[in-house]
């Protein structure tokens, strides 16, 4: 299919069949690249880096803003040329960098490119205030915001963010799961708004999981300090530190006035395994003593399938395991089958599982 020599992630980005592999738009390309990376394990890191960059560009294209693409590209190249005149090391910019820059400006989605566009079209910001990234089931994405904050976004998630941040605050809104590496700015608080809480930081790394269908919001801190302010007035704000997780649970309970009232509770878990909880951003599907019912939810989001567990007893079985991104849902089920006597059948996009 392709005769290129691949040594770095840039080589992959310039190959048309690789783009088809990332988009899964061509079965032949998808099969070819799966076989290729299996035969070239030493290039797995560069290969994965290229996949992540491609996904970022593709998702940003979906959120493209309405601008004059040719003029914006001309503006970007002009800025590079001006900088080159004052900084000698810039005069040797490789052609590849310019090609990648052209792709980025045409997608017009990465927030860090906005400063160049703003110089040419300041009125544009007045009309376009927010961007939104929607990550479909079975996919993941990344974005770098205008302040340099790096965000990984998990399947079935939405992230809404302003094109540029103000001087005093940096608010974003999350529905789903995301991992944040926030650029430190002591004068501007970075805030993540979810259905249950407002999460405030100045500069830190943390993971937030807050899917609408889940009856809880989990915030896990990897580094720095995070302040959790629940939206319910009867719960006091808390500060959490590295290796802690704050869980806001919505517990249904029957009352005389109304059945199924929801009572929120906040709990702090210590010494949590942050590596397991954030493994999804590194394309690892990890289970750590989790029930099959919880694992099924992960697998549904990971593989874009619907899983029906037909035995209540099977739902409570616990498993520990680690799988890489290119293993299929059936390979995961076969691994589970080695310890639990299950049978499964698939019809269209629905997998039914029961005890043998």
Q: Are 204 and 186 in contact (CB under 8 A)?
A: no
- Per DSSP bridges, beta strands 350-355 and 306-309 are parallel
Per DSSP bridges, beta strands 169-181 and 189-193 are parallel
Which residues are CB-neighbours of 346 under 8 A, at least 6 positions away? 330, 352
Pairing of strands 216-223, 189-193: unpaired
Question: What is the signed CA dihedral for 328, 330, 336, 341, rounded to 10 degrees?
Answer: 180
The tokens for 188 are 């501007």
Q: What is the pTM of this model?
A: 0.62
Give helix then strand counts, H and E, for the chain. Answer: 12, 18
Tens-digit pLDDT string for the chain (356 aa): 545 678 777 778 778 888 888 777 777 887 788 788 878 888 887 887 777 777 766 655 554 444 444 555 555 555 555 544 444 444 444 444 444 444 444 443 444 444 444 444 444 444 436 889 999 988 899 999 988 999 999 999 999 998 888 778 899 999 999 999 999 988 889 999 999 899 999 889 999 999 988 888 999 999 999 999 998 777 889 999 999 999 998 765 444 444 445 566 889 999 999 999 999 998 888 988 899 999 999 999 998 999 999 999 999 999 988 887 678 899 999 988 888 999 999 988 899 999 98
Give the Cα separation of 141 and 80 in Å (integer): 27
Burial class (CB in 10 A: 0-12, 13-18, 19+), 170: buried
Residue position matching structure tokens 């691949």: 6
* φ and ψ at residue 296, rounded to 5 degrees: -60, -40
What tokens does 198 get? 């407002």
Place of tokens 């609408």: 212
Cα separation, 147 vs 168, whole angstroms: 12
Cα–Cα distance, 290 to 274 (Å, whole number): 15
151-155 own/partner pairs: CB under 8 Å, 24+ apart: 151/178, 151/179, 151/180, 151/181, 152/178, 152/179, 152/281, 153/177, 153/178, 154/178, 154/179, 154/209, 154/280, 154/281, 154/301, 155/301, 155/302, 155/304
Q: Whats the size of the chain, residue-wise? A: 356
Chain centroid offset of residue 239 CA:
24
Catalogue all structural domains in the chain, each as residue range(s) with its CATH number.
9-62 (no CATH), 129-276 (2.60.120.1440), 283-355 (3.55.50.30)
Tokens of 59: 């998702």
Return the closest-CA partner of residue 208 out of 189, 188, 227, 184.
227
- Alpha helix positions (H), 40-68: 44-62
């Amino acid at each position: 299919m392709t005769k290129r020599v691949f040594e770095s992630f840039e080589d992959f980005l310039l190959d048309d069949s690789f783009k088809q592999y990332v988009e899964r738009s061509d079965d032949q390309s998808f099969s070819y690249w799966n076989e290729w990376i299996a035969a070239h394990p030493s290039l797995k890191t560069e290969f994965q880096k290229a996949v992540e960059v491609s996904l970022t560009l593709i998702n940003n294209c979906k959120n493209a803003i309405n601008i004059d693409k040719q003029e914006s590209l001309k503006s970007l190249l002009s800025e590079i040329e001006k900088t080159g005149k004052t900084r000698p090391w810039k005069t040797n910019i490789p052609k590849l960098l310019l090609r990648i820059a052209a792709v980025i400006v045409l997608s017009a989605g990465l927030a860090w490119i906005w400063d160049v566009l703003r110089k040419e079209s300041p009125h544009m910001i007045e009309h376009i205030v927010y961007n939104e990234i929607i990550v479909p089931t079975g996919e993941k994405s990344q974005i770098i915001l205008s302040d340099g904050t790096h965000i990984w976004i998990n399947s079935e998630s939405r992230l809404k963010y302003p094109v540029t941040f103000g001087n005093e605050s940096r608010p974003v809104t999350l529905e789903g799961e995301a991992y944040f590496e926030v650029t430190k700015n002591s004068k501007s608080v970075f805030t993540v708004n979810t259905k249950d809480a407002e999460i405030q930081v100045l500069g830190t790394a943390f993971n937030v999981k807050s899917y609408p269908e889940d009856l809880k919001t989990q915030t896990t801190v990897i580094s720095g300090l995070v302040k959790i302010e629940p939206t319910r007035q009867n719960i006091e704000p808390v500060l959490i530190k590295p290796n802690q997780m704050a869980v806001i649970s919505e517990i249904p309970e029957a009352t005389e006035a109304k059945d199924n009232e929801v009572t929120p509770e906040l709990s702090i878990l210590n010494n949590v395994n942050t590596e397991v909880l954030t493994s999804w951003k590194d394309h690892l599907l990890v289970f750590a003593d989790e029930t099959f019912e919880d694992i099924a939810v992960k697998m549904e989001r990971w593989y874009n399938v619907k899983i029906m567990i037909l035995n209540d007893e099977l739902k409570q079985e616990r498993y520990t395991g680690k799988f890489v991104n290119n293993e299929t849902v059936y390979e995961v089920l076969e691994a589970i089958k080695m310890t639990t006597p299950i049978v499964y059948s698939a019809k269209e996009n629905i997998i039914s599982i029961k005890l043998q």
